[in-house]
Amino acid sequence: MMQNKLACVLFVAMFFCIGILTPALKAAHIDEDKNYLNILAKTDRGYYSPGDVIRVKGKVTDEDMFPVQARLVFQFQGMNTTADTKSDGLFIIRVPISFIEPENMYRLTVSAHAEGFEERNFSIPIIIMGEPSSLAPVPVIPDEFSLI
């Protein structure tokens, strides 16, 4: 009697799981048809002071790493800055830092929009401090930013 109840419970649980997973498998198949963007980006320094300018350089590609022309929106401290990638997918942008906002760690949010692609969003942590402390990373400006 106990084995019959256990077998019945397992049977119902199996059909319940199949009922839940079947729509999910169909949805996963539909998602495979969408094109996704990759955004590679870096900033010119490890930390900034109030009033500085963040220089961001990067590239937008598709899943196969081919360049994509896209519209980019950079959101930082309540301000929006937009840019378009070049035909090779590259972009360089300057994002101003407020004099008013307190020293803290913020997030620079980047959104990429391109026709035929799913929108892509990501964020970069930005540290703002008035005077460098002994705990701050060494401010290294990569060579490729020297001409920006």
Domain 38-138 matching CATH 2.60.40.1930: the answer reads: yes
Per-residue pLDDT tens for 28-50?
444 455 688 999 999 998 889 89
Q: What is the pLDDT of residue 144?
A: 55
Q: What is the pLDDT of residue 139?
A: 55
pLDDT for 111 equals 94
Is residue 62 within 8 Å of 49, Cβ to Cβ?
no
Q: What's the predicted TM-score (pTM) here?
A: 0.66
Coil, helix or strand for 38? strand
pLDDT at 26: 42
For the record, the structure tokens of 142 come out as 């990569």
Per-domain boundaries in the chain:
1-33, 38-138
CA dist 37 and 29 (Å) reads 18
pLDDT beneath 50: ranges in the chain: 6, 8-31, 145-148
